[in-house]
Structure 1
Amino acid sequence: MFLNFSFSNDAVGYIVDGVMDTPAIEYLRDELLKKFEEHKKISLYLEDSGIDRFNLNSVVTTTLFPHKHRNRFHRVAMVTDRKWIHLLARLNGIFLSAEVKNFTTENRLKAIAWIEERD
């Protein structure tokens, strides 16, 4: 399940819990594609709020989608206490033209402030 919210026109956030399966990842992908239609670049806040499980398709898609759209992100904040998700975000960050930062759930307010910053 996703709770989505906007910081501004070009910055969006999603808090994710439950199961991260194919329908969930397709929903997230479709939402981001809608934002890309409206804006050349977006900033993205993603928070793991107790995801119960992931399936392989969701992990593959969340790894490949940013690469396909690597020039469309301005900033990406990943908020989770799972180190392996931080590792995936760092690996994705290598290939993106965006700034990517990892935050623990304890530091979610810092992540929100960082996403809202304007250069």
Structure 2
Amino acid sequence: MLSTFDLAGHVIGLIVDRDLTEDTLDEIIAGIKLKLEIHEKVNVYIELEKGRHITFSALMKGIKFKYSNSEHFDKIAIVTDSNWFQNAVNVSDIFLDVDVRTYDLKDRLEAIQWISL
């Protein structure tokens, strides 16, 4: 199940409690697009629960979506204990004009506070 919540009008929060596949990413993208119908720019919080993994194809699709829609993102917080996912996100966002930060699950409250501003 994919859980969503709003922290503020322009912030969408997503908690992924299954492996992050292309199908799951399609659900995430659909939620973001709905929010973009209301707000020109959004902040996105994505938490991948402990023990869940991301497929390489989902990672590539997510990077493509971020780059092709970067003008609509202000901040993105990725919360996961997957070191390789955090590193991939950090490397892929070097040339992106969006403030992207990764957090460990234990630091989720810090991530929520940061993304809500």
* Fold shared per TM-score above 0.5: yes
Q: Does 1:80 align with 2:56?
A: no
Q: How many residues align?
A: 117
Mapping of residues 62-73 of structure 1, within 5 Å: 62-73=62-73
Letter in 1 for 2:98: A
User: What does residue 11 of structure 2 align with?
Assistant: 11
Paired with 2:82 and 2:34, the residues of 1 have a C-alpha distance of: 28
* Deviation of the 1:5 alpha carbon: 0.3
1:25-104 counterparts in 2 under 5 A?
Answer: 25-50=25-50, 52-104=52-104
Counterpart code for 2:61: T
Q: Indicate how the Cα distance of structure 1 residues 90 and 56 shifts in structure 2: closer, same or farther if over 3 A, else same.
A: closer
Bigger mean CA deviation after superposition, 68-77 or 90-99: 90-99
Query: How high is the TM-score relative to the length of structure 2?
Result: 0.90
Identity %: 25
Which AA in structure 1 matches 2:82?
A: R
Counterpart CA distance in 1 for 2:94 and 2:104 is 20
More strand by share: 1
Which secondary structure state, in structure 2, belongs to the residue aligned with residue 4 of structure 1? strand
Gaps of 5+ in 2: none
Cα distance in 1 for partners of 2:72, 2:60 equals 19
Report what 1:20 is aligned to: 20
Structure 1 unmatched ranges of 5 or more: none
Alpha carbons of structure 1 residues 35 and 51: separation in structure 2 relative to 1, 3 Å: farther
